Structure 1
Amino acid sequence: MKRLFASLILLVLLAACTSQWQEIGPPVDTPHFTDKAFHTADGADLPLRIWLPWDKPLEASIIGLHGFNDYNRAFDAPGKGLARRGFALYAFDQRGFGGAPQRGLWSSTDQMIDDLATAARLAKAAHPDKPVYLLGESMGAAVMLAAVTRHADMPVDGIILAAPAIWGWQTQSSLNRAVMDFAMAVMPRVAVQPNGVYREASNNHYMLRQMWRDPKIIKATRVDTAFGLVELMTEAFDAGAKLTGNPRWLIMFGDREDILTSDSVASFIGSLPKLPPEQGRLALYPQSHHMMLRDLQARVLYDDIAAWIRDPAANLPSGADKAP
């Protein structure tokens, strides 16, 4: 009996030492949007929110992808702001986040990219005579970077990346890598909540307090999920140098970035190809933080995004693209 008990304990310990990823089923259905969900080919319903212009003609459709441990509510302010400017915005909870199935478990970079490509096709089908753009925040922007270098066939006219998560292995210290490798080897399923470390993600403190109280925001992150994020950021960093200008891109960073390291941002910016402004444009905002789309002065970014979509060759209204 003691030997059996010891064997069971050993099996439990071994199970705890193995990573756990999302289980994605085979295609069983036709993907489509409903009023409240992005129904995927494998039958998963990813919660969806839609903002439509109500007092002016539709100019373009935009797919919004939220950041790490966040969900589609991240686009509440940007969705309203861009709808007022004539754009439709579709934002869904990525797998493992918000109200999506298998909460807390990482799916894969491949699956996140496939979901985005499908959503882009559905947005184009909803408004076939209008252009489609992608708008990503942090992790969502990293997914978009990886996606456009893999899927040249996506019906996308442009990508807008707000503080893309590009802190990949290329810019991580050897100590960070060693700690992550050790954690993955001994406790990949353990969820960790950072304590004692303060970072100012935004100057919108009311929004930050709402996020802290929001039960859909993941507060403690599994080790294997964090590892998956770094793998995604690694591919996103490499994708920057591969951007061709088709689709055209607008990449935005804030000078008050306090989540990504300054070295990783500088290295990524230095890797971007030098293209004509109408194909690729970098904008630097002196007062913006990591969650720049929700900062108190975010309307400046909404104006820039709208102006860039309408005329990618013109200077941005804010002048942020003139920054050195």
Structure 2
Amino acid sequence: MSGIQFFRRISGRFFVCLATSGLVLMLSGILSACAPTVHSAGPPVGQISLEPDSFQTSDGTNLRLQKWGAVDHPSAVILGLHGMGDYANAFMELGEQLSASGDADAVIGSVGGIAVYAFDQRGFGRSPSRPFWAGTRSMVDDASDMLILLGDRYPGVPIYLLGNSMGGAVAIVVAATRPSLMDGVVLVAPAVWDRGMMSWYQTLPLSIMSHSLPWLPLTGRGLEIWPSDNIEMLRRLSRDPNMMSAVRVDMVAGIADLMDMARVRVSDITVPTLLLSGREDQVIPTAAIDAIDRDLRAQNLPSYSRCLYQAGYHMLLRDLNGSVVIRDIARWIAAQGTAENYSCTE
């Protein structure tokens, strides 16, 4: 279970636990003495590069890379940014469906073959800084550098940034600050539940814990939150050692900071945007998605669509209905630059 899922349900319970055990004053007393641990990117020491199975960042860190589809001669390229606790393989279903023959080719239509790239973001998956939070700036810079590399590798080919959950928050900041690097952004159940929409009993325990007990692992067990209706997929992920079954408190604080920034910067997006969410999402409140939908509609973007799936959960691309969502993404990409009117399947 991700840190976002944990935070939604545990904050109130944890505060009650601290209060009844008499630990609130003790933790508040050491609030200024301990700070959350952030393993941000170091200074630039070399050129960024795309290797066969890794992305070399400007500070020399190698982040594992996965790719699918028409990587030799694509008509469009997607860079995927995964969610919290996940890693690049989060886009396996997307990549495999877009690279399949037959029906997928017909769905993609005028776009032709789509290449999908994804890397393990710092602090997650197979990255060397796991399990520490890298900071918003480092994550935004890494995504931007990857977009630059993909633009160099595929000159003249449309490039789209796709962010899922936490990756959606990162994608919002990148799209708002570096629009020239992409032809559009796809936000899949983006993590935009900012502190302004939270109650005091949710934000106060996080503030105390992130400064006082940054090493405390949070598993979220027993919270009865279902991120997907695809049970077999969830069982498979539970056995995957590259998935994080627990996160540090300061990583949860980091995602809260990121969500705050994404909520503010969404109003600065100027590129074509596709927003996808599920009615059954138990991780990100519907009100949070509705809020950024209103902001995006007010932007008068060159192209904007929102797809709301009645049977959709948080892990839209891997839900039982995931193939429908993926086809809608392909259709939206195909519609860019044409006179075709785009509409969602649901």
Note whether the superposition's TM-score is higher than 0.5: yes
Given the alignment of the two structures, is residue 136 of structure 1 paired with residue 163 of structure 2, yes or no?
yes
Which residue is 2:79 aligned to?
63
Given the alignment of the two structures, is residue 35 of structure 1 paired with residue 52 of structure 2, yes or no?
yes
**Which residue of 277, 289, 304 corresponds with 1:265?**
289
CA shift for structure 1 position 297: 1.9
The worse-fitting range, judged by mean Cα deviation, of 123-132 and 22-31 is: 22-31
Q: Is the 8 A contact 1:248 1:280 kept in 2?
A: yes
Query: Could you say what secondary structure the match of 1:290 adopts?
Result: coil
CA distance in 1, matches of 2:55, 2:170: 17
User: Deviations for 1:82-128, whole angstroms, at most 9, x for unmatched residues?
Assistant: 22341001100000000011101011101100000100011111111
CA shift for structure 1 position 282: 1.2
CA shift for structure 1 position 274: 3.4
Q: Where in structure 2 are the equivalents of 1:165-244 lying within 5 Å? A: 165-244=191-270
Aligned-partner residue type, residue 237 of structure 1: R
Which residue is 1:77 aligned to?
93
Q: Residues 91, 262 of structure 1: CA spacing in aligned structure 2 closer, same or farther, 3 A cutoff?
A: same
Q: Is the 8 A contact 1:62 1:89 kept in 2?
A: yes
Q: Where in structure 2 are the equivalents of 1:226-305 lying within 5 Å? A: 226-244=252-270, 247-274=271-298, 278-305=302-329
CA distance in 2, matches of 1:132, 1:16: 45
CA shift for structure 1 position 150: 1.6
Aligned-partner residue type, residue 79 of structure 1: G
Which residue is 1:90 aligned to?
117
Greater RCO, CA 8 A, separation 6+? 2
Query: Could you say what secondary structure the match of 2:137 adopts?
Result: helix
Q: Residues 217, 16 of structure 1: CA spacing in aligned structure 2 closer, same or farther, 3 A cutoff?
A: farther
Q: Residues 113, 39 of structure 1: CA spacing in aligned structure 2 closer, same or farther, 3 A cutoff?
A: same
Query: Could you say what secondary structure the match of 2:79 adopts?
Result: strand
Query: Could you say what secondary structure the match of 2:80 adopts?
Result: strand
Which residue is 2:5 aligned to?
none
CA distance in 2, matches of 1:268, 1:23: 28
**Which residue of 4, 7, 25 corresponds with 2:42?**
25
Aligned-partner residue type, residue 94 of structure 1: Q
Aligned-partner residue type, residue 93 of structure 2: A
In the alignment, structure 2 segments of 5+ residues that lack a partner are 1-29, 106-112
Aligned-partner residue type, residue 21 of structure 1: V
Q: Percent identity?
A: 34
In the alignment, structure 1 segments of 5+ residues that lack a partner are 1-12
Query: Could you say what secondary structure the match of 1:241 adopts?
Result: helix
Q: What's the C-alpha RMSD, in Å, of the aligned pairs?
A: 2.1
Q: How many residues are paired up?
A: 304
Q: Where in structure 2 are the equivalents of 1:126-165 lying within 5 Å? A: 126-154=153-181, 156-165=182-191
Q: Is the 8 A contact 2:40 2:135 kept in 1?
A: no
Q: Is the 8 A contact 1:16 1:187 kept in 2?
A: no
User: Deviations for 1:239-285, whole angstroms, at most 9, x for unmatched residues?
Assistant: 222223xx211011111111112332233323333356852211111
CA distance in 2, matches of 1:98, 1:206: 20
User: Deviations for 1:44-78, whole angstroms, at most 9, x for unmatched residues?
Assistant: 00000011238x96211110110001001101111
CA distance in 1, matches of 2:154, 2:63: 21
* Higher normalized helix content (fraction of residues): 2
State TM-score, norm by structure 1: 0.88
CA distance in 1, matches of 2:93, 2:211: 40
Q: Residues 165, 206 of structure 1: CA spacing in aligned structure 2 closer, same or farther, 3 A cutoff?
A: same
